[in-house]
Structure 1
Amino acid sequence: MDFQFSDDQRALRSGMRDLLGAVFDRDRMRAAVERGGGVGRGGGVDRDRGVDRGLWRELGAAGFFALRLPEEAGGVGLGLPEAVLLFEEAGRALLPGPLVATHLAAGLVKGAAEGEAVVTVAEGGGRPVADLGGADAVLVGGAGVLTGEGLEVLTGEGLEAFVAGAVPVRSMDPLTPLHRAMGLAGASEAYPGALRREGALLSAAEQLGSAARTTEMAVQHAGEREQFGSLIGSFQAVKHLCADMLARTGPARSAVYAAAVTGDPVEIAAAKLLADEAAVRNARDCLQIHGGMGFTWEADVHLHLKRAWLRTARWLTAAEAEEILAADLGPVRPLYSGSAALG
């Protein structure tokens, strides 16, 4: 069985990287950081701020959201492996906005596939809602979002009522405003439904892209920064940090790609665990290699770390993923019976 990328898949990934380099370069990213979005001065939801609509339409025109819709429905007709490649690039670029929710809602909400509508998700279970400011629809349903059944799409008056009851929550990520939906219930299932599985996998792909990017940033800085008359990349401690970052990214990439092929909930749980760890720990090691400047607002390292922290709580947390993996192992049996242990 051949698991190498096809020429079309390589072209798809390369094209998305080129597109993001053109429409969301570092200057545009930093401008978005300075602008912030979603939370008004009065503490409510500012409906005039949030996602960059121009950027959203660019993504829609490129097929980012309609990638997995069938061609007869106006989509591209590709699958999860191709979607993972695009979301990996989005993670590299720190692309903001409810990308996963809008992608999943491409066949549910009018305009989502074309990038004309912004869709976010209320996962329930105490999780805050991201990017509520400027959203055209919210996927809601305590059990619906988690199991894929009874899912409700809020638009129009229903959306406005939902927004009116939302309370802002301070977000660690300046590019991801958060709100708490009061009274929204919902608890995790041991084996989540298709919507949540796919959301977890695409979020893991974003984490993978961030982990790979911070590894590159660390290696580049280590090859340019001098201390005591030598490049810091020549110091053994720095080499170890870079090697550890690479060693985390490789298994995470294999797990994410494999889960995209199988769609197996257990493999998706493992992929999310590995990708979350790689994204968070790589960003921390990258910050360590950058030294004092890595802690400053002007450096981009802290943005990757904050986004990685935030994603660990989205779609599938570490505790939930561990429960899925533990359930798959079955009951734990003692190595020895009582009589055998006594001799």
Structure 2
Amino acid sequence: MDFRLTEDQRALRRGVRQLLERRFGGERLRAAVDAGGVLDRGLWRELGAAGFFALRLPEEAGGVGLGLPEAVLLFEEAGRALLPGPLVATHLAAGAVPGAAEGETVVTTADGEFVEWLDAADTVLGAAGGAVPIRSVDPLTPLHRLPGGTPGAVRGPGSGALDADLVALLTAAEQLGSAARSTELAVAHARTREQFGQPVGGFQAVKHLCAEMLVRTELARAAVYAAAVTGDPVEIAGARLLADEAAVAGARDCLQVHGGMGFTWEAEVHLHLKRAWVRAERGLSGAAAEERVAAAL
């Protein structure tokens, strides 16, 4: 069996990466941070026009007619670029909420303990009454805390909530993209930054950090891609665990490679760590994922 991406899938990934590099490159990323978490509606509509939200809708319903494996590739690229906004909720609401597929409607969900982008959303799935704004560790993800919310709690079908497994899988894809980008940043810095007359990548401790980042990322990639093909809840839980670890630990190791520079606002590294922390609290919690995998074993 051939597990490699098809040429169409590779072309899809290239196209999304080019779109995001053109529309949300490094300068736009920093501008978004300076703007304090204001959603770019123009970019949102452009994503809609490109089929980001309607990717899995049937062609007869105005969608692209692709599946979960292709959606995972899109969200991996979104995570790599640190694209802000309630992407997962809007994508999963396409076809059910008018305007979501086209990027005209911004959708968020009030499941669990936190609500992302509540003030920017046109539609909120679930009850967000009494939600209180809190300071988010990630400057590109505004948060509200729900009264009585519990970490990792996701309501079931019929509650107005999104499919918990799809939320977990697409979040894992974002984490995977962030982990891969952190690895790229660490390797690039290790090759160019010099100490004692040689690149810091020549030192064994730095080599080990970069190698460990790569291993975690590729393990998570295999798990996320496999879960996208099977849709199995246990495999999704395992993929989420590996992707969360790859994103959080990878960003921390990337900071170590960069040294003190990594904590400065002009660096991208700390933003990946902060976003990974926030994503790890979305939907399926680590403890719940571990229990699901353990029960299956």
Calculate the TM-score normalised by the size of structure 1.
0.82
Q: Retained in 1: the 8 A contact 2:191–2:200?
A: yes
- Name stretches of at least 5 consecutive residues in structure 2 with no aligned partner: none
Letter in 1 for 2:122: D
Scaled by the length of structure 2, the TM-score of the pair is 0.95
Are residues 1:243 and 2:222 paired?
Answer: no
Q: CA deviation at 1:189?
A: 7.2
Report what 1:332 is aligned to: none
- Alpha-carbon spacing, 1:232–1:186, altered in 2? closer, same or farther (3 Å): closer
The whole-number CA distance in structure 2 between the counterparts of 1:55 and 1:251 is: 32
- Tell me, in whole angstroms, the C-alpha distance in 2 between the residues paired with 1:184 and 1:270: 24
Contact 1:171–1:177 (CA under 8 A) maintained in structure 2 = yes
**SS of equivalent to 2:44:** helix
Q: Are 2:292 and 1:306 aligned?
A: no
Matches within 5 A, 1:52-201: 52-124=40-112, 127-140=113-126, 162=128, 165-182=130-147, 188=153, 195-201=163-169
**Secondary structure of 2:272's match?**
helix
Q: How far apart are the structure 2 equivalents of 1:309 and 1:7? A: 33
Tell me how large the CA RMSD over aligned residues is: 1.9
Task: Name the CA distance, whole Å, in 2 between partners of 1:68 and 1:279.
Answer: 26
Partner Cα separation in structure 2 for residue 18 and residue 286 of structure 1? 24
Q: Give the letter aligned to residue 26 of structure 1.
A: G
Quickly say closer, same or farther: Cα 1:191–1:135, change in 2 above 3 A.
closer
Within 1, Cα distance between the matches of 2:33 and 2:14?
26
In structure 2, the residue matched to 1:23 is 23
Instruction: Work out the CA distance in 1 between the residues paired with 2:57 and 2:6.
Output: 20
1:139 is displaced (CA, Å) by: 1.1
| Letter of the structure 2 residue corresponding to residue 116 of structure 1 | E
Q: Kindly state the Cα deviation for residue 185 of structure 1 after the two structures are TM-superposed.
A: 7.6
Structure-2 change in CA distance of 1:188 and 1:328 (3 Å): farther
| CA apart distance, 1:166 | 2.4
**Structure 1 residue identity aligned to 2:124:** V
Q: Structure 1: which 5+ residue stretches go unaligned? A: 38-49, 142-161, 330-343
Distance in 1 of aligned mates of 2:65 and 2:108: 23
Q: Contact 2:33–2:140 at 8 Å: present in 1 too?
A: yes
Q: CA deviation at 1:204?
A: 0.2
CA displacement 1:145-181 (0-9 Å, x = unmatched)? xxxxxxxxxxxxxxxxx46x32111100000000123
Distance 1:289 1:183 in 2: 40
Q: Once the 2 structures are TM-superposed, how far is the Cα of residue 182 of structure 1 from its aligned partner?
A: 2.9
The CA distance in 1 between the partners of 2:289 and 2:150, in whole Å, is 20
Runs of 4+ aligned structure 1 residues displaced above 2 Å come to 181-194
**Residue 2 (structure 1) shift:** 2.0
Q: Following TM superposition, by how much is the alpha carbon of 1:300 offset from its aligned partner in structure 2, in angstroms?
A: 0.9
Kindly provide the CA deviation profile for residues 192-247 of structure 1, in whole angstroms up to 9, marking residues without a partner as x: 99711001000000000000000000000000000011110100110000000001
For 1:325, the aligned partner's letter is V
Aligned partners of 2:206, 2:70: CA distance in 1, in Å? 35
Matches within 5 A, 1:242-261: 242-261=210-229
| Number of equivalent positions | 294
Greater Rg over alpha carbons, structure: 1
Q: Deviations over 1:284-331 (max 9, x none)?
A: 0000000111111221110000000111111111101001111112xx
